[in-house]
Amino acid sequence: MVSLALILLPLLLLVLGVPIYVALLSAAGAGLLASGYTLSQMHISMFGGLDNFPLLAIPLFIFAGEVMGRGGLARRLVEWALSLIGGVRGSLALATIASSELFGAMSGSSVGCVAAIGRLMVPELKSRGYSPAFAGSLIASCGSIAVIIPPSIPMIIYGIAAQQSVPLLFLAGIVPGLLIGALISVYILYYARVNMIPLTAGLRWKNVWLTTLDAFWSLLAPVVILGGIYGGIFTPTEAAGIACIYAVLVARYIYRELTWREIWLAAVDSSILISQILIIVAAAGAYSWLITVSGFPAKLVDLITSLNMETWLILLTINVVLLFFGSVLEPPAAILILTPLLAPLIQQTGVNQIHFGIIVTVNLAVGLFMPPFGLNIFATHALFGIPLPQLYRGMFPFLIIYLIALALITYIPAITLFPLKFLH
């Protein structure tokens, strides 16, 4: 009975279009009653899920990303990247990838990256010979890099749910994020040559110098955020607070592109997304608590163990499950639902928990632009008016690239774990 409440009820409610937090609370409530607990336990576990200091980093990074996007920091990153890659066929698309990597290293928000970088690049891409479908698909897929390159909001949530070190997860995510960017770049160079995309202005060192000076404070942001974390100066949560202060000061007093009223509006808009995430976190806290005390994860481990599956096959199965959930759920909800189930299984197989955290993150990053429900697809459609059927077709090559990267990351642990050696 409890298993039915935990698994079938939320799936049924999600299929019927019920909001995620309602589905989780309904499953938790039904499971509590079936297990003989009172509903007061739901309140305790909900607020207990929110009473977590590392969780504070999420709203802070979201607000910082919103200010950076509106305050000119993102635009200067794009101009700097384009000045370096000028003269190469496909340089505008390559600059989109580089800008997404840099913006991701400042904000950790996928949809924020799509909005901030996409507003600058999509009109330019379309005017330089790229089809609307390609331009939209590129920015939707590049937006997913922002949740893989640190600081990453899904990594923070996974670290909390699996009780793993967030700084180690950040460090492990650097190479996978760069690897995906490199693989997309190879495809861009091929695409640009086949389709004879016009060349942009060539590399001019004077222009590079000027854009570097202009983008100095934008380029300094990832150094301050990540350097502070790995230098032991502040925690990821404190880094998020520093990022907010840094973004506001640069946008208001150095670049002078935002007034205090506009900063207030950025905070209001950020609070809408923050509230959507945190209500899911609260509901998932009750759901995860019940899953843990019900003994369901242990039963799942015993079932998988009895099948005598090889580790590589278990990882393949988990990847398929994560891709499915990532295509219909937002990363925070998917992580909070699945981590209590999968963490004991992964521990049993001997897979490193930090490595598994990156596998989870990359899977859910793919889900963000996987048809038909990927969040980045809908954001791109809403922002730029590109028809959904065109976006669905344009996503195919980028999906293949991400899946190749996912396979490499899954079965070559050194890709994620090698940077961790530098901490010893």
The pTM score is: 0.80
Q: Are 177 and 100 in contact (CB under 8 A)?
A: no
Which of the four pLDDT bands, split at 50, 70 and 90, describes residue 233?
confident
Mean pLDDT of 61-87: 81
Q: C-alpha angle with apex 218: 216 to 224, nearest 5 degrees?
A: 95
CA dihedral 301, 303, 308, 311 (to 10 degrees): -40
pLDDT per residue as tens digits for the range 126-163: 887 788 999 999 999 988 888 898 888 889 889 988 88
Q: How confident is the model at residue 60 (pLDDT cuts 50, 70, 90)?
A: confident
Angle, in degrees to the nearest 10, between helices 153-162 and 353-367:
140
Are 290 and 385 contacting, i.e. CB atoms less than 8 angstroms apart?
no
The encoded tokens of residue 262 equal 């506009």
Contacts of 168 (CB under 8 A, 6+ apart): 354, 420, 423
Amino acid at 262: E
Residue 357: exposed, middle, or buried by beta-carbon count in 10 A (0-12, 13-18, 19+)?
buried
Instruction: Write the pLDDT tens digit of every residue in 321-354.
Output: 888 878 767 788 788 888 888 888 888 888 899 9
- Report the pLDDT value the prediction gives residue 187, as an integer from 0 to 100: 94
pLDDT in tens, 357-388: 999 999 999 988 888 767 788 778 877 888 88
Share of the chain above pLDDT 70, in %: 92
Q: Quick check: helix, strand or coil at residue 258?
A: coil
Residue 57 has pLDDT above 70, yes or no: yes
Q: If you ran DSSP here, which 8-state letter would residue 203 be given? A: P
In whole angstroms, what is the distance from residue 146 CA to residue 142 CA? 7
pLDDT confidence bin for 83, thresholds 50/70/90: confident
* pLDDT of 298: 65
pLDDT of 424 reads: 56
Is there a contact between 385 and 134 (Cβ–Cβ < 8 Å)?
A: no
What pLDDT, on a 0 to 100 scale, did the predictor assign at position 248? Answer: 93
Task: Determine the pLDDT at residue 301.
Answer: 64
Averaged pLDDT, 179-190:
93
Q: Is the pLDDT of residue 250 over 70?
A: yes
Three-state DSSP at 71 gives coil
399-414: average pLDDT:
94
Instruction: Give the confidence band of 184 by pLDDT, cuts at 50, 70, 90.
Output: very high
Q: Per-residue pLDDT averaged across 49-73, rounded?
A: 79
The CA distances from residue 318 to 303, 311, 314, in Å, are 14, 11, 6
Give the whole-number percent of the chain exceeding pLDDT 90: 21
- Tokens describing residue 382: 């809403």
pLDDT at 20: 72
The DSSP 8-state label assigned to residue 1 in this structure reads -
| Whether 345 contacts 353, CB under 8 Å | no
Helix ranges restricted to H, 195-233: 205-214, 216-230
CA atoms of 327 and 198, how far apart (whole Å): 35
DSSP letter string over 366-378? HHTT-TTT-HHHH
Look at residue 1 and tell me whether its pLDDT is greater than 60.
no
Q: Which of 211-225, 256-270, 277-291, 317-331 has the lowest mean pLDDT?
A: 277-291
Give kind and range of the element (H or E) at residue 30: helix 20-35
Report the 3 state secondary structure along 112-166.
Answer: HHHHHHHHHHHHHHHHCCCCHHHHHHHHHHHHHHHHCCCCCHHHHHHHHHHCCCH
Instruction: Enter the tokens of residue 127.
Output: 């005017």
Residue 136 neighbours by CB distance under 10 Å:
32
pLDDT bracket for residue 407 (50, 70, 90) = very high
Res 423 pLDDT > 70: no
Whole-number Å distance between alpha carbons of 73 and 89: 26
Burial class (CB in 10 A: 0-12, 13-18, 19+), 249: middle
| pLDDT at site 411 | 94
> What mean pLDDT value characterizes the chain?
83
User: Higher model confidence: residue 339 or residue 302?
Assistant: 339
How many angstroms from the chain centroid is the CA of residue 226? 17
Q: Percent helix, strand and coil across the chain, each rounded to 5? A: 80, 0, 20
Contact 117, 74 (CB under 8 A): yes
Torsion sign, CA atoms 155, 160, 161, 162: positive
Distinct helix (H) and strand (E) counts, the chain: 23, 0
* Domain regions of the chain by residue span: 2-423
